Amino acid sequence: MKAPLGAAICGLMLLHAAVAEVSWLPAYTERVQSQGAIAALPPHLSMVLGLGDGTQDLAVRQAAKRSGQEVHTFNVAQAQKKPVVVLMNYNENTKVAQAFLLKSGGHLEKAVTYSAGAAPQPVPESQAKNALRAELQFWAGEAGAK
């Protein structure tokens, strides 16, 4: 009887830790949506992420931050009456970008990678989740610094 209770408590603690990891996300999303720079995601990326038909840019509000040779952007688009978050990481050395479309709660909906002039390619889920975790940690630091 004690072992299942202990396992349940550990499970709840892990669940709380996972939720707490992105507790900053709704407030930061709102901040970027109201105060971020006006920007746009390219048509091909919007289409691959399921946010557009590929014929025009997707208007976003954006926060951007350089870290060495990487440029991180936190993009908020208004889609279907609710904000949609797309995190991007562009490496200036390799000229490769990764984009992460988030569901509510900071969960991964879709991840792609692409380089200039090439079609975006899906990122395998295990690789995408690790990369997203790093990107969320980066933005958690930025959200706390403001």
Grade residue 146 by pLDDT with cuts at 50, 70 and 90: low
Mean pLDDT of the chain: 85
The tokens for 7 are 């396992």
- Give pLDDT tens digits for 85-125: 999 999 999 999 999 999 988 999 999 999 887 888 999 99
Q: What is the pLDDT of residue 119?
A: 82
Residue 16 has pLDDT above 60, yes or no: no
Domain boundaries, the chain: 24-145
Is 111 buried (19+), middle (13-18) or exposed (0-12) by CB count in 10 A? buried
Q: pTM here?
A: 0.83
Residue 19 has pLDDT above 70, yes or no: no
What H or E segment, with its residue span, contains residue 16?
helix 2-21
Mean pLDDT calculated for residue range 58-73: 96
Q: What is the pLDDT of residue 118?
A: 84
